[in-house]
Amino acid sequence: MYFKDYDYESYDQDWKDDHKKDCGYHKKEDKKKGKHYENCVADVLEAILAAQKKADKDNSCHTSCRQSIADLLGEEKKVKKNTIPFILYCGCEPYKGTGVTTYHCHSKKTKFKCVNSFLFKVKDIEKECAVLELLVFKSDLKYSKDHTDKCHSKGDHSACGQIDHKELDDLIGTGICITVDLSCFCSITCLPAIHLRH
């Protein structure tokens, strides 16, 4: 399904009608609207993914989600923005994703590095799961003078702590992807559309 095929007006009404129902992940087929999920997080992620694919063909491994999608797609001119970063929520708390990569600082040995983030880019959606890339700010990556052989990121104990007072252009992709079950999330907050660098 592509964003241009997505009927947001119908979705808004469906969401209002379905909002009183339990939050489960049940597919409904409607020939007029295409695929629709009762899980609104899955709906928004599908729309974001379709918009990102339209804006950036190389999509491998005011502020609202609708406005961010509109900003991403832009006008008829060449689209420069390629990503809608977002925060997911489990219950009342922002979801912190954790992934592992390897690095070299000043040592010739390869070491593991654990990366935590509350910010994600959707890379793919298959059935009830999504592949999400962890996003971080360059300003949070620093070299530790206390330990000459360790590279690490500053504390990232809350979503607002990770985002507050950061420059938009500093947000980068880590290349670290995690696979999540979309039925586990109850809400999503979209950040403004950006041009994401790796």
Would you give per-residue pLDDT tens digits along the chain (198 residues)?
A: 333 444 444 444 444 444 434 444 444 444 445 555 567 888 888 889 888 888 876 555 567 788 888 888 875 556 588 999 999 999 889 999 999 988 877 777 888 889 999 999 999 999 899 999 999 998 877 643 344 434 444 555 789 989 898 988 899 999 999 999 999 999 999 999 999 876
Place of tokens 């241009």: 4
Report the helix count and the strand count for the chain, using DSSP H and E.
4, 12
What pTM does this model have? 0.65
Phi and psi for 193 in degrees, rounded to 5? -65, 145
Residue 8 CA to chain centroid, in angstroms? 20
